[in-house]
Amino acid sequence: MSAAARWAGSPVNEPSAARVARALQLLDSVEVAQEDRDRSYIARHEAGHAVMSVELGVRVELVTIEATPAHGFDGHCHVALWPASVRALQPHEIAALEYSIMILLAGEMAERLGAGSTVHAQHDRAMIEERLRCYPIELHDDERKALLAWCEVHTMRRLRRAWPAVIAIAMELVVARTITGDRVLTLYEATLGSPPPIPQPPGTC
């Protein structure tokens, strides 16, 4: 019986310590079928985006994973990101821009925390590069590196603290394939309670 089949009979309700431990066995076991492993990587990646959105007060509309003929499994976390073609001029706009960068980084960070590899981050990195061109002035290389380093450190710090919520959401994605934004928030709060204070982005200092 595949790992996904074993999970299919489990009730999809509020997470518990036992369910999170079981999810860890599913997502990290070397014995799962390759299809289940691919799906778990995507689920963890998308759960990283979703959890970081909650952490930063950005509403998640929907999170999905699906099989595609050409690329195996693909996933989407539907959130409102800063538009790639719009310059951020005011402090609150720069904050929204940098929160978008952190949300985009979170999929890759979740992969690093879970599996040590980053196989689904190329598209996110391209979207980050688009948003780095949205600052009021063009950033020099050292400024870009410093900004990305700040965002990466704070994204990783938050994901480490919120890892139980990442696992709970990824676990449900593996089974249900689609989770609403309300369900994401329910799973987050059931494992962690209320989100911590939103950080001050570097561009607003």
Q: What is the pLDDT of residues 155-199, one digit of tens each?
A: 999 999 999 999 999 989 988 999 999 999 999 999 998 888 887
pLDDT at 90 over 50: yes
Q: Which two tokens stand for residue 89?
A: 């001029």
User: Is 0.85 surpassed by the pTM of this model?
Assistant: no
Closest CA to 67 of 164, 174, 168: 174
Residue 40 has a pLDDT of 81
Burial class (CB in 10 A: 0-12, 13-18, 19+), 122: exposed
Q: Report yes or no: 109 and 45 within 8 Å, Cβ to Cβ.
A: no
d(CA 172, CA 175): 5
